Amino acid sequence: MSVVFLSTGPPTVNVEHLDALAESYGVSIDAREKEHYLHLLNGLDATSNAITSLPAYTDPRLLPAASTLPRTYEKLSGKPDKNPLNTWSHRTSITASNPSDVRLSRKTVVFKDNVSIAGVPLTGGTFPELLVGKPDYPVPGIDAVVVKRVLESGGVVKGSANCEHFSMSPLSFTSASGPVHNAWLKGYTTGGSSSGCAAMVAASQVRAWRKRHGLSSPSPSNNDEEELGESVDMAVGGDQGGSIRIPAAYAGIYGLKATHGLVPYTGIISLVPMIDHTGPMTMTLEDNAMMLGVLAGWDGMDPRCTPETPLRQNVPDYLGLLEAWRAEKDLKGDWTPQMAGKGLRIGVIKEGLEVVGLTSEVKSVITAAAEQFKAVGANVEEVSIPMHIIGPAIWTVATRPYMVEHGLQNRVTPYLQYAMPDVTPPVLNQKAFDLLNKHNPAVANMFFNSAFMNSKPDANQALAKAMGHVQQLRDAYDEVLKDFDVLLTPVNPKVGSKHPEYTMDVGKKMEPAIGATLNTCQFNVTGHPALSMPAGWGRTPDGPGMLPVGMQLVGKRFDELSIFKAAAAWEVGGKGLDRWNGQINWTASRSSVI
């Protein structure tokens, strides 16, 4: 291999620098050889400077379409009169004048605030000093691929939704902008880290649910705008350990973590590429299927895509196929509350109902959901996958060594990609630690976790072993999925709790999140698709109200259609949010916690 170094100007690397580099490896260089190594280092430095001096290149495929310009925005964080649930980060309204199709025509869509929207500030749920080392947030010049596809399909981009600090919380009180409230019960978690996305879609769900059940807003003025604020039809969230599915469960909406690599992640702040997912969060199952068809397909830029990722023209019409399957069953007389699930095979993961912290309230809802699958004619069996219990440990060890380097410092991976050049977090120092410790100690803990894992003498061997067990875990699910269409687990281990009181006690801020991902993070490392959907209601553990409980349906990789079929058949027996006995005074419950 030949290497060519550009050499211009006087040398900048001196002997002291060379000695320091050598010492970092615990080696010494003979004085007679230093001249040669200095020459090579100075050549490299000159070459590096030549590249650094070049103007930045932006892939034209990511530039905003001219028909969507100019763009304006309004910052809504910190404006409770316009943003009562603190769901919005920045509001805008962007449409394409000549969309290529109309699948999302007039549908309003918001994006998690780690997704690039050209001309709109990007926060990542944190402070600008921690994201870019400056007092102002970066303003991207590109549209993430998911943004472009929503616009190309006729959707209305309404802006960015608040998210948790660096996407590192399964609950919704860590954002730099303050807590994001559950649309069903203000003051309670709506889940994270796609918290604003979930609550904003849920606000639309609340309005539709109340209308269906003849209930009104409990606000003093009986005005749900004052109570809920502006809402949207759909959202695009992000999921590295459950951050689409967990908030979808707490919020009573539908959230899909599609197969890894099916929906391009280009233009979105990463945590670790192996577990990065983005996907649809919607009011209905049908909207979720439709939106997946819009978002999915190879983009030619995301290294997370694989040879299994379909080209855009080969992406299944998930909604059309679902409707055709439903129509075929209806023609046979099978689309009934007794027969809709006929032919479907549902595996209830035994270990999913044994995770630490799973409450009897949630377990009873999931048990009832499994019974409903039986009632609609599906074949339901309990199945044991012992590795499911150790899955979170595998996820942890396989990702912790990279989490700071890639997720908190945006270190570019050695794969061709759009590298988010505007995200330039500084190195952790005392000032940064104090901010993190105050607002989200989980992020500060991640710095310590990553440094600790990488400092261990057997760090590489431990990581290699964890990677091997990722494959073993994937194989374990694949083996069981040979006999089942979908697997069933709970999503949230307990009914949503109140936001913790503001305190400097790290334990009180960390404790509520413990165990939240024990049924979700496994499928981030294995890459299987997983849908969170509302299965019923549970009483809150610390108040008089009720909040949604979600169930998770997991399918074979790149077989999202089977998940949609199973979910649709289950709902013929009654939708989760309509499993309501009508005896609870919702208005009183709500007013008592506001």
In the predicted model, what is the mean pLDDT of residues 31-57?
94
Residue 3 pLDDT exceeds 90? no
pLDDT tens across 287-331, in order? 999 999 999 999 999 999 999 999 999 999 999 999 999 999 999
Residue ranges per structural domain of the chain: 15-52, 61-390+467-582
Write out the two tokens for 461: 């061997």
- pLDDT band for position 77 (cuts 50, 70, 90): confident
In the predicted model, what is the mean pLDDT of residues 343-369?
97
Contact yes or no for 266/299 (Cβ under 8 A) = yes
Question: What pLDDT is attached to residue 592?
Answer: 30
Q: Is 243 a catalytic residue?
A: yes
Encode burial over 302-328: b for 16+ CB neighbours within 10 A, e otherwise: bebbeeebeeeeebbebbeebeebbee
Question: What pLDDT is attached to residue 366?
Answer: 98
pLDDT tens across 196-239, in order? 999 999 999 999 999 998 888 776 666 788 899 999 999 999 99
Q: Among candidates 216, 208, 335, which has minimal Cα distance to 282?
A: 208
| Cα–Cα dist 384/421, whole Å | 45
Q: Among candidates 291, 184, 180, 201, which has minimal Cα distance to 253?
A: 201
Question: What pLDDT is attached to residue 587?
Answer: 42
Q: Poorest-confidence range of 48-52, 319-323, 529-533? A: 48-52
pLDDT tens across 470-481, in order? 999 999 999 999
Query: Who wins on pLDDT, 285 or 8?
Result: 285
Give the three-state DSSP class for 308: coil
Residue 87's Cβ-side half-sphere holds a number of Cα atoms within 13 Å equal to: 33
Residue 552 pLDDT exceeds 70? yes
Q: Which of 193, 194, 195, 231 is catalytic?
A: 193
pLDDT tens across 100-114, in order? 999 999 999 999 999
pLDDT tens across 152-186, in order? 999 999 999 999 999 999 999 999 999 999 999 99
* pTM listed for this prediction: 0.95
pLDDT tens across 570-587, in order? 999 999 999 876 544 444
| Cα–Cα dist 530/471, whole Å | 18
Residue 2 pLDDT exceeds 80? no
Burial class (CB in 10 A: 0-12, 13-18, 19+), 294: buried
- pLDDT band for position 9 (cuts 50, 70, 90): low
Residue 344 pLDDT exceeds 50? yes
Q: Is the dihedral of CA 171, 174, 175, 178 positive or negative?
A: positive
Q: Report percent pLDDT > 70 for the chain.
A: 95
Question: What pLDDT is attached to residue 229?
Answer: 96
Question: What pLDDT is attached to residue 594?
Answer: 27
Within 8 A by CB and 6+ apart from 589, the residues are 185, 543, 544, 545, 546
Name the E strands within 130-276. 156-161, 234-239, 254-257
Write out the two tokens for 281: 């969060």
Residue 482 pLDDT exceeds 80? yes
Question: What pLDDT is attached to residue 7?
Answer: 52
Q: Which of 77, 167, 194, 243 is catalytic?
A: 243
Question: What pLDDT is attached to residue 525?
Answer: 98
Burial class (CB in 10 A: 0-12, 13-18, 19+), 357: exposed
Q: Which of 112, 158, 186, 329 is catalytic?
A: 112
Question: What pLDDT is attached to residue 348?
Answer: 98
Decide the pairing of beta strands 254-257 and 108-112: unpaired
Question: What pLDDT is attached to residue 510?
Answer: 82
Query: What value does the mean pLDDT of the chain take?
Result: 94
Question: What pLDDT is attached to residue 221?
Answer: 66
Question: What pLDDT is attached to residue 215?
Answer: 87
Within 8 A by CB and 6+ apart from 166, the residues are 124, 125, 126, 130, 271, 407, 408, 440, 443
CATH of domain 61-390+467-582: 3.90.1300.10
Q: Among candidates 472, 273, 288, which has minimal Cα distance to 388?
A: 472
Q: Is 158 a catalytic residue?
A: no
